[in-house]
Chains A and B, each alone.
Chain A
Amino acid sequence: MLKVKELNIIFQDRGKPETAVKQLSFDMREGERIGIVGESGSGKTMTALAIAGLLMRKDVKKQGEILWEGKNILSFHNKELCQYRGKEMGMIFQEPMTSLNPVKKIGWQMEESLRIHEKFTKKERYERAIAQLMEVGLLDAKKVYHQYPHELSGGMRQRVMIGAALICNPKLMIADEPTTALDVTVQDQILQLLKKRNKEKKTGILFISHDLELVQKLCERVIVMHKGMIVEKGLAREVFTSPSHEYTKKLIASIPKVERRKGDSKLG
């Protein structure tokens, strides 16, 4: 489905060029859950932005290929990009507080992708939006539909973001640190939501985080990045139980160790 081939991302500043991502390659099959971990500045967010087609500025040089169903995203025209975004791929960010338009009602924002990509009637859109709100766990959907973002909590907003990003049933969902700004219990709920979606609709999830534990809970495969390069990749279980690279070992060692109770995580 998604194939990244020897991707380089280079920032062409006035001075010497800075390489943010070096020779990055990985494949993603349909319905897979892949985690990218790494510290700040490791290039994981850049990778996500490139896959989302958001790095189209001319001063950022991109080499290599990002193939989506055989077509190179990096050479997409604006029209193709608009088609790809929202319909084929949905993305959510770290900041649920600012990712929603403050002056538009939740319902309107939920329906935006439908208005762009589908030819639905007003009523169909409404029903779709309500169903989607219910699906992401906002059970009071009819009320939320008419509310403004400032009336919702952070967790609820992130749910709305997920709902809005997935309303056209894209095949890929990129989640760039979606839980960082949320508290721990809400984090868990959001992860469950993503997992449920993945199981039910076969939505592939590219989960980007610096939090190894979350990645471990959610993903089947992991990619560990450091200074713009992949240092290790493989099945999540194997990478975390027997890391082969020094950096991965250090990362795992730096997880604060707390006595864990049984059944602490419903995800497992």
Chain B
Amino acid sequence: MRKEKKRSFLLGASILIVLFCFVLSSFFYMPYDPNQMDNANKFAGVSFAHWMGCDNFGRDIYSRILQGTRTTFLVAFFTIIIGGGIGTAVGAITGYFGGWIDEILMRLNDAVAAFPNFLLALVVISLIGPGTFNVIMALGIVFIPGFARIARGEFLRCRNMDYVKSAKLMGAGPFRIIIFHIFPNTIPVLLSAVTIGFNNAVIAEAGMSFLGIGVQPPDASLGRMLSEAQAYLFSTPSYAFFPGMVVVLLVLGFSLLGNGLERKA
């Protein structure tokens, strides 16, 4: 069991590291301008010049994937920062203090969680309008309840531990206890929640861009590319194949990583 976890962690980590290296390399060298259109190369197949081919506007797919992965990473990262940050804070307060504050915040939380994630994100987007930044906001809000619930459970578990009692007896105030004494103990659980969350964020971003309410053209994002590619699925399969593969690898990588990080149950 232990070995399996380690293998899963290593495999996930190496997939992500390779992807990450590609994305990093794009900051130093991008073969083509991802938004540069080229009539001569419309629907060009895989070749040495364009080794993932070109799309319906003659843009280099490889360059666009690099650009799109960047965007997707960015969205997923900040979504987790917002959702995970606020969610953990809410969970910490409700779990540690309990009582009426717990009741109020958790009922609010339940109300948010009652909507399907994607639907709620759509509602938020329709309220604040599309765009990269707004997608981050919408997904961030949607991700709060999940993190809050997990964090609450962990803080609830830890607040009656003896070491919390001894921290109290040293004169530590509640916020000091939450941040310095309990929080470090919840990191293993929160970390695996973060990897799962990252996955969901990647999928959600791709899905929203696919529907045309996420990243706006001409900017590239993996979901956006997939949505543009579906019209040419049969004539130019490489257009959809490569961005699709990257999404699959991203999600697979984070799933494996999360699996490996999870506490041995």
* Chain A residues engaging chain B, CB cutoff 8 angstroms: 52, 54, 78, 82-87, 89-93, 95, 98-104, 112-113, 116-117, 161, 164-165
Would A98 and B161 be within 8 Å (CB), given that A103-B184, A103-B185 are in contact?
yes
Q: Which residue of A lies closest to B166 (CB)?
A: A99
Q: Enumerate chain A residues within 8 angstroms of B174, measured Cβ to Cβ.
A: 78
Q: Which residue of A lies closest to B161 (CB)?
A: A98
Q: Enumerate chain B residues within 8 angstroms of A100, measured Cβ to Cβ.
A: 163, 166
Q: Enumerate chain A residues within 8 angstroms of B187, measured Cβ to Cβ.
A: 103
A86 in contact with B169 (CB, 8 Å): yes
* Minimum Cβ distance to chain B for residue A46 (Å): 14
B172 in contact with A101 (CB, 8 Å): no
Chain B residues with a Cβ closer than 8 Å to the other chain, count: 18
B116 within 8 A of partner (CB)? no
Q: Enumerate chain B residues within 8 angstroms of A54, measured Cβ to Cβ.
A: 165, 168-169
Q: Is the interface of B mostly helix, strand, loop or mixed?
A: helix
A117 in contact with B171 (CB, 8 Å): yes
Q: Please, how many angstroms separate the alpha-carbon atoms of A93 and B165 in the complex?
A: 10
* Minimum Cβ distance to chain A for residue B97 (Å): 12
Q: Enumerate chain A residues within 8 angstroms of B161, measured Cβ to Cβ.
A: 98
Q: Enumerate chain A residues within 8 angstroms of B166, measured Cβ to Cβ.
A: 91-93, 99-100, 161, 164-165
Which of A52, A86, A102, A164 contacts B185 (CB under 8 A)? Answer: A102
Can you list 21 A-B pairs with a CB-CB distance of less than 8 A?
A52-B169, A54-B165, A78-B174, A85-B170, A85-B171, A89-B169, A93-B162, A93-B166, A98-B163, A99-B165, A99-B166, A100-B163, A103-B184, A103-B185, A103-B187, A104-B184, A112-B167, A112-B172, A117-B171, A165-B166, A165-B170
A-contacting residues, B145-181, CB 8 Å: 161-163, 165-174, 176, 181
B162 in contact with A86 (CB, 8 Å): no
A116 in contact with B181 (CB, 8 Å): no
* Minimum Cβ distance to chain A for residue B103 (Å): 15
Q: Is the interface of A mostly helix, strand, loop or mixed?
A: mixed
Q: Which residue of B lies closest to A101 (CB)?
A: B163
A82 in contact with B171 (CB, 8 Å): yes
Q: Which residue of A lies closest to B164 (CB)?
A: A101
Q: Enumerate chain B residues within 8 angstroms of A87, measured Cβ to Cβ.
A: 171
B171 in contact with A98 (CB, 8 Å): no
Which of A78, A104, A116 contacts B170 (CB under 8 A)? Answer: A116
B162 in contact with A98 (CB, 8 Å): yes
Q: Which 3 A-B pairs have the closest CB atoms?
A: A86-B171, A86-B170, A98-B162
Contact with A along B179-207 (1 / 0, CB 8 A): 00100110100000000000000000000
